[in-house]
Structure formats: structure tokens, C-alpha cells
Amino acid sequence: MSKLNETDIQGFVLRGYNLLFARYFFLHFEEPARARRLIEQLLPSITTGQRWDSGKPQSTVNIGFTHRGLSAFELPPATMISFPVEFQQGMRARASILGDTGRNAPEHWEHIWRGDRVHAWLGVNGITPAALDARSAALRNLIDETRGAVVLDSQDAAGQIVDGRPTAKEHFGYTDGFGNPDYLGVERSTQPGQGKLMPDGSWAPLATGELLLGYADEAGELPVAPIPHILASNGTFMAYRKLHQNLATFRNYLEEKSRLYGGGKEKLAAKFIGRWRDGTPLELSPDAENPDIVKDPDRSTNFTYGADAEGTRCPIGAHTRRVHPRDAFGFNGKLIDRRRITRRGLPYGSFAGEDEQVSDSDDRGVVFMALNASLSRQFEFVQQQWIEYGNDAHQGNDKDMLMGNHGGSGKFVVQGDRSANNPPFICAHLPNFVELRGGDYFFLPSITALEMIAMKLVDPR
């Protein structure tokens, strides 16, 4: 297949910017003509997937719309009803499918997500807080001048800086951001373990249509997409979820359980997710962190679970093994190639050192954003079957240890062997370490599609 037209695809879709300061504005459009003018004037600022040959920009801007948001531009009804049903419904209406119940139920979400007013996500990333502020102010001015939208709210997020250097740590202390897939045609420094597993054990990029609309997916089909084709092509869907982290609960639970666990606290923490907190995969280094592996792109994601069917190295229910099972379900990994998602996202709230006092009510968590061609086939499947259920992983009714909506009754089995420092262990009475505070589904159109929306040119005929 030919190279993608990177200048037509929003940069946020094609690559993680690694610009650690972000602000996500949530907009409401009040009047169609003014909203279109805003998009028209915003267009030159939208960051595309074009390579940064002359270095990183100071800041980036990207935009996505809810189904209601697209209605606000007066798109033709024939177009509006052609979007996939889950996108038309929005994430709140999908709560029972996603397991967003109990403490994660919409009635507990932040105010903005309980209503129907969010029309757009305007994502800004900056290389420094000052660059983020400057770009945010410019966007605010544009919104005010055009009166194209009302800013309902904004969400700040930022990576952790330690000794002046950015880290990929989240609040529980794990290093994040290893597992994004490669796609055909997307130029990116690829590494083995990030695409799909081939019969000879090598790794190849996933079909473009697993990420972008308008291209063949892993079944050789075009993903379900709105009409006209040009509106959909080079676009994608995003699930935005604000995930609050109960840090005090996590630390207390880990502390309490590790007193009984023969492998020690850090190994137990590693067993929860399948990687040591520095990112070393348990599968490659079951007994200790190994910074050499983490730094080596040929090794840090290059492993399979075939030789660890019993889960004695990486537990079968560990987070990373659940959400990216590689070959764990057999059939050379073929069962998972249509269930992959691309994750963006950053932590929000202040970081707390291990010896700092923390409380569950502290405002901290992660803004989780998943990109995929089909929300129902990819994100929703992973959430429903691999996070909130354990059958595919042969873990019965057990949910994902860290992400699961346990409500105090969950269980996680750490498989082990006869050695004293790797014993089998059971974590029971699991609380909710993570709670959903809201979010929605967004469509991130191509640059061409944004222009067509701005010019009122979308025509399904």
C-alpha cells in the first residue's frame, strides 16, 4: 500500500507528541454559521501528521466532535444517521455495556459529562507550561472573536518531570506508554512487539483500517464509517475517559498484601500489571527490574506468552497481558488483531512521592484517550471482555486488577511456582483502584473533512 497522506491526518492520531503539558477544552457550539467560522479560522492551527523535520513545535492543536457536536454544524441528516450506532449514542448511553456501573455510573460523573452539552474536544499540547498557556490564550481569543463556541470546561494534564527530565510515570508509579500498535503506512520508529504477530514469530504493522477510516482493516474490509467517504477517510474515533486514581487505597492495599507475599512489594506491584514499575516486562525479567531492557527498543516490547502458559512469570490476569494478550489465546495471536487500540493520554493532578501523605479524594488520575476505527469492535470490546470480565483469559469472572470495577469483591490470582520468592498468591476483596469520572466518544476528522464541515460542503449524495 502507498504511504499515507500525513498532511491530511490529524497529528494526534498518527503519533504521540511527547509534549508533556496538555489542556483539553470542551466546547459547545451555539450557532452553526459562527461555529463553522471558528473551524475555518482554526484550520491553519490544526497540527497534522506531517513529520517534524525541523524539530518539535512549541505546541499542537487538535479537534474532535461528539455526534451532537457534528449536528451543530447542520450536517445533512443522511450523513448524521450513517455514523456507527455507538458513536451516535455516546459513551454515557453505553454505560451498561462498558460496565460503567456502581461507583463508575454516569450519575457519579462530573457535571459536564452528565449533560448533553459537550460538542467538541479541543486538545492542546505544549512543550512547556508557558507554551501551553500561550497557545491556549490564542485559542480562547479566537473563540471569543468568532463567538463560534462556548468553552464549557477544560482539563489540564501533564507528565511527571523528575530532575528536569520528563518521565512516563503515572500516579501508581508505573512507567506507561509502551504498547501502542504500529499500522501500515504510518511512519514511526517501530519496534518489535507493537504490531501483529506473524506465523514466523516476527511482528508486522496492523492494517491501516484498524486505526483510520477509509482503509482496509485486518479482515480486509472497510470499517463502518459515515457517508460520504471523504468525510470519513483519514479520520478516526476516540474514547475519552477521565479516570480518577485512588492512590491511598492502592498504596495501602499493596503494602498490606505484600506483607504476606513472599516475592516482596515491588514484585507484587509488577505482578498486578505485568511490568516492573520501571517498565521492565516480567516476561523477560521475572525477578528484577532491568533498565537495559527498558531502554532497548528491540527488547522492551518484544515478547510473547506462549512459553508462560501457566502465568508463573507474568500472571494470566495481569493488566498488560489482558489488554494486549499477544499469543496468549493461541492461534498465533490472530484472535486479537482486531481488538487493538492506540492510547494517548496523560496523568492529571499532582504527583506524590512514596513517602508523601495521600488521600483518595486528592484530584489525580489519568486522562485516557483511545483511538480506533471502531469503538464497538475495539475499545468497547477490550473494556467489556478483557477489563470487566475474565473469560477470554481463562480467569472466570475476575476483572482487571487495577482497572476493574470491583466494588470490593474482586479477586486476582498471581500464579507462581515452588520457589520462595515466586509463590502463588491471591488478592481478594479488591476495591476500585480507578474510578471513572466521565467522558464521551469523539470523531477526529481529517483536515479535508474539517474544511468541508467549515465550508458546509458535506454532501452524502
Question: For the chain, what is the largest distance between any 2 Cα atoms, rounded to a whole number of angstroms?
Answer: 70
Answer yes or no whether residue 264 interacts with another protein by CB under 8 A: no
Task: Choose between 28 and 339: whose C-beta lies nearer to another protein.
Answer: 339
375 phi and psi angles, rounded to 5 deg: -60, -40
Taking the CA atoms of residue 128, residue 134, residue 136 and residue 142 in that order, the dihedral angle to the nearest 10 degrees is -160
- In a 13 Å sphere around the CA of 428, the CA atoms on its Cβ side amount to 3
CA-to-CA distance for 275 and 312, rounded, in angstroms? Answer: 13
Kindly give, in sequence order, each residue whose CB lies less than 8 Å from that of residue 55, ignoring residues fewer than 6 positions away.
Answer: none
Task: Choose between 46 and 316: whose C-beta lies nearer to another protein.
Answer: 316
Which one-letter amino acid corresponds to residue 112? Answer: I
CB of 440 to another protein, least distance (A): 19
Whether the Cβ atoms of residue 86 and residue 381 lie closer than 8 Å to each other: no
Binding-residue pattern over the window 195 to 234 for another protein, x denoting contact by CB under 8 A:
----------------------------------------
Task: Choose between 73 and 425: whose C-beta lies nearer to another protein.
Answer: 425
* Number of residues lying near another protein (CB under 8 A): 25
SS3 content of the chain, % helix, strand, coil (to 5): 30, 20, 50
Answer yes or no whether residue 425 interacts with another protein by CB under 8 A: yes
- Contact segment (CB under 8 A) with another protein among 41-49, 120-128, 377-385, 437-445 equals 377-385
Answer yes or no whether residue 268 interacts with another protein by CB under 8 A: no
Burial of 198 (0-12, 13-18, 19+ CB in 10 A): exposed
Answer yes or no whether residue 253 interacts with another protein by CB under 8 A: no
Answer yes or no whether residue 337 interacts with another protein by CB under 8 A: no
User: 3-state secondary structure string, 150-184?
Assistant: EEEEEEEEECCEECCEECCECCCCCECCCCCCCEC
CB of 239 to another protein, least distance (A): 14
Of positions 227, 384, 392, 459, contacts another protein by CB under 8 A: 384
Of positions 252, 385, 431, 460, contacts another protein by CB under 8 A: 385
Answer yes or no whether residue 101 interacts with another protein by CB under 8 A: yes
Answer yes or no whether residue 260 interacts with another protein by CB under 8 A: yes
Answer yes or no whether residue 396 interacts with another protein by CB under 8 A: yes
Of positions 26, 272, 381, 433, contacts another protein by CB under 8 A: 381
CA dist list (Å): 112 to 28, 100, 124, 364: 11, 17, 19, 18
Task: Choose between 88 and 101: whose C-beta lies nearer to another protein.
Answer: 101
Q: Is 173 left (phi over 0), alpha (psi -120 to 50) or beta?
A: left
Residue 439 is placed in which grid cell?
A: 467522558
Whether the Cβ atoms of residue 332 and residue 210 lie closer than 8 Å to each other: no
Task: Choose between 382 and 458: whose C-beta lies nearer to another protein.
Answer: 382
Answer yes or no whether residue 97 interacts with another protein by CB under 8 A: yes
CA dist list (Å): 452 to 36, 87, 212, 446: 10, 20, 18, 10
- Contact segment (CB under 8 A) with another protein among 11-19, 98-106, 186-194, 435-443 equals 98-106
Residue 443 is placed in which grid cell?
A: 470523531
Of positions 128, 397, 419, 421, contacts another protein by CB under 8 A: 397
Task: Choose between 119 and 241: whose C-beta lies nearer to another protein.
Answer: 241
CB of 379 to another protein, least distance (A): 11
- Contact segment (CB under 8 A) with another protein among 54-62, 91-99, 124-132, 170-178 equals 91-99
DSSP string, 186-201: --S---TTSSEE-TTS
CA-to-CA distance for 309 and 324, rounded, in angstroms? Answer: 15
Binding-residue pattern over the window 427 to 446 for another protein, x denoting contact by CB under 8 A:
xxx-----------------
CB of 187 to another protein, least distance (A): 32
Residues in contact with another protein by the rule CB under 8 A = 96-97, 99, 101-102, 259-260, 376-377, 380-381, 384-385, 388-389, 396-397, 411, 413, 424-429
